[in-house]
Amino acid sequence: MSNTTASLRRKIDSAGDLQSVVRTMKALAASSIGQYEQSVRALSDYYRTVELGLRVCFREIESGAVRPERSERTARTAVGAIVFGSDQGLVGQFNEVVADFAIRTLAAKPGNLQVWAVGERVHSRLADAGLPLSGLFAVPNSVKAITPLIGRILIESDVIHSASSPLQTGATDEIGANPTQVAELHLFYNRPKSGAVYEPVSQRLLPLDENWRRRLAELPWPTANLPEVIGGGTTTLRALISEYLFVSLFRACAESLASENASRLAAMERADKNIDELLENFHAAFNRLRQSGIDEELFDVISGYEALSKSKKPRRAE
């Protein structure tokens, strides 16, 4: 009896320690969500400013004329992808959702695939699916660590670095239209929604083609005065395109991190609830065993008392 109650006591203590760890992780995840969502909101205005600047540059360089896309684009067959996941576990189906979405989307893309993974967990998922992986990047653990990660991606990934470089002065052909480069580059990541919900999304980062320019042309200018580009239009265009790539990658990474922590928060809330139920069951079982032990001891006392009482009655009669 004592061994059983002692075993339950150890289980109760272990579950209590685990619950304290879970609640600590809940607090960390909740605080992390705020900083990543705040960084995305702060980036939105700058992202729009970069897009407006690109619109002005294209207007200056092209003088309102857009040439048809060059035929060389059909010669390019490689398709690149960057998939943002997590390094750590306890995030529910976070990595499975974005990996399966990327696998389904890339399966419909013709040509050779080149895939980069951000996070060991999603890297393993993509490797199990048989995708050709070209690199692995560690997931940043704070907002400040996102910038070094984006810098490494821009440097180490020849897809991004080379596909954004072939710009010529006055050119109106598709940016990066080079038959030796990757035809398309896609970003796959989870985007947070209301509450702890997120959804997998994709963004085509490259090429910066006529459709992309047309979307920029539709952006309303915030004032009545249209600006002009001072100095070399192509130099400014290169700088803005570099900022556009950086901001797009930064936003994708920040939204992925916000979704990761939202998923971890939801997982920890479920774990906390399950531990509460487990502790309730343990305490109920412990109390039943303890009460059963007390009842048995009382029964032994009463039985002993009755036995002594019966043994004393014959002596009194004599």
Residue 66: per-residue pLDDT: 37
Measured distance CA(273)–CA(267) in Å, rounded: 10
Is the separation of the CB atoms in 218 and 28 below 8 Å? Answer: no
Q: 75, 163, 69, 73: which is closest to 114 by C-alpha?
A: 163
Of the ranges 46-50, 67-71, 76-80, 250-254, which one carries the lowest mean pLDDT score? 67-71
Q: Does residue 201 have a pLDDT over 90?
A: yes
Q: 171, 119, 144, 147: which is closest to 243 by C-alpha?
A: 147
Q: Does residue 262 have a pLDDT over 50?
A: yes
Q: How would you class 60 by CB atoms within 10 Å of its CB: exposed for 0-12, middle for 13-18, buried for 19 or more?
A: middle
Residue linked to tokens 């002009």 = 228
Q: pLDDT per residue over 140-172, tens digit each?
A: 989 999 999 998 888 876 555 454 444 433 333
Per-residue pLDDT band at 305 (split at 50, 70, 90) = low
Task: Express as a percent the part of the chain with pLDDT over 90.
Answer: 25
Query: Residues 6 or more apart from 71 whose CB is under 8 A from it?
Result: none
Tell me the CA distances in angstroms from 274 to 6, 13, 76, 97, 147, one per residue in order: 22, 15, 53, 23, 38
Residue 77: per-residue pLDDT: 63
179 compared with 251, residue with greater pLDDT: 251
Residue 85: per-residue pLDDT: 95
200 compared with 111, residue with greater pLDDT: 200
Residue 179: per-residue pLDDT: 38
Residue range 311-317: mean pLDDT, rounded = 59
Phi, psi dihedral angles at 278 (to 5 degrees):
-65, -45
Superfamily for the 27-261 domain:
ATP synthase, F1 complex, gamma subunit (3.40.1380.10)
Residue 287: per-residue pLDDT: 84
Residue linked to tokens 């009755």 = 306
Mean pLDDT of the chain, nearest integer: 79
Residue 105: per-residue pLDDT: 93
Task: Express as a percent the part of the chain with pLDDT over 70.
Answer: 80
Angle at 241 between CA 146 and CA 215, to 5 degrees: 110
